[in-house]
Amino acid sequence: MSHRKSSSSSKPRSTEREMLFGTHAVLAALTNPQRTCYSLWATQNAANRHAEELSRSTLSPTIVSARELDRKTSATTVHQGLVLQATPLPPVTLEDLNASAPLLILDQVTDPQNVGAILRSCAVFGVEAVIMTSRNAPPLTGTVAKAASGALECVSVIKVTNLARSLEELEAKGYQLIGLDGEAEQSLNAFVPAPPFALVMGAEGKGLRQLTQKHCHHLVRIEARGAIASLNVSNAAAVALFAITNQNA
C-alpha cells in the first residue's frame, strides 16, 4: 500500500494515542511509517488468520479474548479480532499539495461511516487528499479508519477552519472547483474538467452551502434514470469520482 505523504511541517510527532480496530484499518496502520504503534491486541483466531501480515510488523500481538477487545473499544464495535493503539496521523495542510491528482472537498459531511467510505473510494480513484472543515466533521479516529478499510493511511485528510477561504486558496493554486449539486443544469456525464481539479460535495439533505456554491467554477449533477433521483453521499462520491477520473484518463 502506498501511504499518504508526510507533511512539510517540522512539528514533532504526536505523543497522543488512539485506538484503531478492524482488519484492514489495523493492518494498514501497522505498516505506515507515519504512525508510532504502541500495543497490538488480537484474538487467537485473528492472529492465526493474519499471521503472514502480522509477521511483517515489529510489533507482536498480545493474544486476548474477544471480550477483552470489547472492553478496550466498546461492546458495539466490530473489531474483527484486532485492536491497535497508535499515534494519530500527522496533520497535512494545503501547502503540502502538489496539484498532480484530484482533490475531494466535503462541505460539512458529518457521518463517520460516510466519510470512511468516501476515503475508500478516493483511494481507489487516485484522489490526493480529502479536505473537510475542522468543525461539523467527524474525528479521524477508529470509526472512520474502520469504515475506510485502510484508506486513511494512504489518502491525506486536510482539516480547515474556513472552507470558503480554503477554496479561494485552491483557486489561486490553479484548481478548477466542481460542485456536485442535484439541481445543477449541467450533467457530469458531459463534463470533462482540465486538471488540476477538485470535486466539492455537500452534506446529505442540505447539500452544498450557498457560499460554497459561489466559490465553485462549475455545478454538475449525476444524471438519474430510475425511480429514485438521489444517492447517499458516499455512493455519489464513488460514482462521480469514477466518471470524472475516467474522463481524464
Q: From residue 54, how far is each of 3, 10, 82 by CA, in Å? A: 18, 31, 11
Count of beta carbons in the 10 Å neighbourhood of residue 127: 23
Whether 201 and 109 have beta carbons less than 8 Å apart is answered as yes
**Cβ-based burial of 76 (10 A; exposed 0-12, middle 13-18, buried ≥19):** exposed
Same-fold call for 18-86 versus 94-247: no
Cis peptide preceding 196, ω within 30 of 0: yes
pLDDT value for 12:
52
pLDDT in tens, 160-170: 999 999 999 99
State the residue for C-alpha cell 482539516. 159
State the cell numbers at 17.
Answer: 494515542
**Cβ-based burial of 70 (10 A; exposed 0-12, middle 13-18, buried ≥19):** middle
Q: In the chain, what are the domain boundaries? A: 18-86, 94-247
Report which residue type is found at 138. Answer: P
User: What distance in Å separates the CA atoms of residue 223 and residue 220, rounded to the nearest whole number?
Assistant: 9
According to CATH, the topology of domain 18-86 is 60s Ribosomal Protein L30; Chain: A; (3.30.1330)
What CATH number was assigned to the domain covering residues 94-247?
Answer: 3.40.1280.10
What pTM was estimated for this model as a whole?
0.90
pLDDT value for 189:
84
What's the half-sphere exposure (Cβ side, CA atoms, 13 Å) at 172? 8
Which regions of the chain are under pLDDT 50? Answer: 9-10
CA 196, distance to chain mean position in Å, is 19
User: What distance in Å separates the CA atoms of residue 21 and residue 64, rounded to the nearest whole number?
Assistant: 14
pLDDT in tens, 168-221: 999 999 999 999 998 888 988 888 888 899 999 998 878 899 999 999 999 999
N- to C-terminal Cα separation, the chain: 22
